[in-house]
Each structure stands twice: as C-alpha cells, then as structure tokens.
Amino acid sequence: MTTQHPIESGPLARTMATRHAHGKSDPEGVIRIERRESLIYTLGKAAELEHLIICQYLFTAFSLKRDSSEGLPPDLVPVVQHWARELMHIAEQEMLHLALVQNLLTAVGAGPHFDRPNFPVPPRAFPAKIQIVLMPFGEAALRHFAFLERPEGSDVSDAETMIALEQAVPLPDLAEDEIGPIVTDFETISHLYRSLEDGIAALTDRMGESALFIGSPRAQATGTDFRFPELVPVTDLASARRAIETIVEQGEGARGDWRNAHYGRLLTILEQFTTARDADPAFEPSRAVLAARVRPAEDGAPVALISEPFTVRAMDLLNAVYEVVLQLLARYFAHADESDEQLAVLAGVAMELMEEGIGRLGPIVTRLPIGSARPGFSAGPTFEVFYSTDYLLPHRAAAWTLMVERLNEVAAFATSCRLQCPPGLTIELSNVAQTLREQADRLASAASA
C-alpha cells in the first residue's frame, strides 16, 4: 500500500497544486540591472531581506514551548521539539544565504552589507508583497513563511500582504539612462534572485568577467570557516550562478525536490500543526510572545515596550551579543591583513556566539514577562541594531582592539545579569556568560598572534 505524503492528501493539496500550475501567465516582470551600482544596490536589498528573514525564523522558533512543564501534551513534546529544530535549521540555511550574498557583493568589488531596518520594518523598505513581521508559532506565521518562500508564479495568498498591497504606492517609470538606484517590485524571493542572475549574466556579457568580478578572492567566505559545504567562493559567472542556485533551491525547490526545500518543509509543519489542533482545539504549542523592544522605535512606530527590569537586561544582552556577531562578520568580509588563522577565528567566534549566545538567550527572553502594560505576555526578541557594523577602522590592530573590548564588556554584562536572574534561569544564563568569556579570550589570543 502506498502511503501519501500528508501535504499531498490534506487540506493543503490545493495550495500545492498551484506549485505546478505552469500554464498560468507569469506576473513577475524583469528587474532592470544594467550597471554595477544597480547590481550592488539590489544585492544590498537581498542581504537585508535575508538578514530580516533569519530574525523572523528565530523569533518563531524561540516562541515554542519546550516540554510538558509548559502545558504541552506529553505525546506532542517530541513533535513540537522537531518543529523547533526544523525552524532553526531553516534559519541556519538563511544564514548561509546571507553569506552567499556577501560573497556576491565582495566578488563585484563592494563591501559587505549587514545593516538592515529595525523592527517593525518600515512599510516602504521592500515591495508590498514582501512583508517581514515577527510572529509567534502558529498557523498565521507558517502560512506567512510559506508565502514568502513560495515559487515564482504561485498564487498562494497571504492575508497580511493583501492588506499591504492596498496601501502600496506604484513605483515610477524611469528612463533607461537613469543614474540613480532603480527600485523595482519583485513578487517573490526567487524572482529577486533570478533577476540578479540575469543581471550578472548581462553585465558579464557587456563588461567581461575580469572587469566585473574584481573583488579579492581572500574576501570570500568558504565552507571551511563557516561549516556550510554549500558556501562557495564567487569569482566568476559560473560560481555566481551556483551561489544563486543554492539560495533558490533551498528556499522553494524550483529545480529540485520542493519537499526538502523551505517551502515544502513549512507546509509539512503547517499540516502537522493543523492536524494536532483539529484533534485537540486547546492545543497551543507557542508561548504568549509579543515582539517587544527596550526602547521606542526610531520612527515612532507602535511597539510593545519592556518595563520588567530583568527582562530589559536580558533583552539588552541578547541584542549586544547580536551586535558583536554582526561586527565580527563584517570584519571577516572586509578584513585588511588578517592571517588565514585570524579569519577562521572571526568566523568561529561569530558562529559560537550565534549558537551558544543568541541560541540560548532567545528561549530565555521568551519566558520573561514584558511588564504591567502587557500582562500575560512574554518578550519576543526584535534583534535591535544599536550601532552600525561599519565603524571599525580598516587598520587591523585598532579593529581587533575594539572587537575584543566590546566582547569583554558584553561578557561582564552577562555576569552582572545573574544577580537579578530568576532562580530557574540561573544555570542557563551562567552558561551564556561562560561562553562569552571564553570567546572573548579566544578573540584576544588571536588578536595578539
């Protein structure tokens, strides 16, 4: 007897049918990329998008309950833990995508791009159909993620995006010889990357490979430093195409198996969740989490503000670790005369801080109360960016001094946070503080080598 895959036989079968509806007209037009500057600009938007999507998946993964002590039915604990691992793995692959975009940027002579808008993301930051929001685990979040990862030409709908479309401002037509950046709508993430691939190919034809790919090969990230076998250095048109292919294949599976791509995996989680909820309407795998900030949004956008003192400190600690990660990554891609060993340390410390710092602090803050203004809700990290990542001097000694100094400050802050820590979280926070101290020592040792 043949067993059907759940998303082939369940309520999402109609959604998946649109995946192969090739007979429909393609609404996704060409994005004009005719100059190096417009290529760099568009790659920068891709970097911002990948960066924000990482935060989005992490937020949802951190919102999930962990065990039966939080009210999960014992038989569903392994299922919910599997969902958390799947979302974290998707976030890790988005980190790979961000690194590949940095390789594409540095290959054509640009610097790395790790800056991005803070949450809530301004409505004009991306085209109307590309909405980035922080949402706890649930049907709305999973459908929204699947919408973002959907294949080109798909008619899968997303209610929040449809509202945004009603408020969208049409983009102006620009002359072919326009010198400024050309902001063009893209319907899907894969639409953006296919347009980048076409633009890079066209520029290669016009300029020649040696004229377009002028970046130093030493500015390229590799799988050796970052433990991603798919992280290919970009030095020519063929390797640029391989990088883009990896991003699109892992996201939507357009030219491969969509079941193993983000799109198919998200739909599988959604099917499993709706099945469990239908069997038990009281089933709630997510904590009552709200995207919350320590400080008001710069543009005055409404956002939940944290007033509980320890939650403020824990969130600031998470954001400070995140800041150091970005600083280390920016230095890796825009280094000066660092040795191969020092570059490996930059990558290694950044990965360790992501996994053992942010990866541990996320589940901690989502168990902490926001404060009296939001009773019953815990804090969801908004990954606030306090400082730009590009303020380090190009001189190696000064740059490493500042990175070591900042990481030591963050480690000391983590240690001081334990004085106010609730008893149930002391061990977890102590482990984070220990990781930060160890990585600060590792960075200081490499700086003096």
* pLDDT tens-digit readout, 297-325: 888 888 999 999 999 999 999 999 999 99
Find, among 326, 327, 307, the residue nearest to 315 by Cα. Answer: 307
The whole-number pLDDT of residue 298 equals: 82
The tens digit of pLDDT for each residue in 370-415 reads 999 999 999 999 999 877 777 777 889 999 999 999 999 999 999 9
pTM: 0.88
What are the domain boundaries of the chain?
8-283, 290-449
Find, among 188, 181, 171, the residue nearest to 34 by Cα. Answer: 181
Contact 411, 301 (CB under 8 A): no
Give the 3-state secondary structure of residue 293: strand
Which positions ≥6 away from 70 have C-beta within 8 Å?
287
Q: Reply yes or no on whether the pLDDT at 69 is more than 90.
A: yes
The whole-number pLDDT of residue 18 equals: 37
Tokens of 65: 């309950």
Q: Which CATH number fits domain 8-283: 3.40.50.970, 3.50.50.60, 1.20.1260.10, 3.40.140.10?
A: 1.20.1260.10
The whole-number pLDDT of residue 261 equals: 85
Which positions ≥6 away from 27 have C-beta within 8 Å?
153, 187
- Assign 30 a pLDDT band (cuts: 50, 70, 90): low
The tens digit of pLDDT for each residue in 181-223 reads 445 567 778 888 989 999 999 999 999 999 999 999 988 999 9
Compute the distance between CA of residue 192 and CA of residue 199 in angstroms, rounded to an integer: 10
Tallying the residues shown for the chain, one arrives at: 449
- Assign 157 a pLDDT band (cuts: 50, 70, 90): low
Q: Please state, in angstroms and as integers, the Cα–Cα distance from residue 305 to each residue in 215, 323, 382, 446, following that order.
A: 43, 20, 11, 39
Q: Is 290-449 in the same CATH topology as 8-283? A: yes
CATH topology of domain 290-449: Ferritin (1.20.1260)
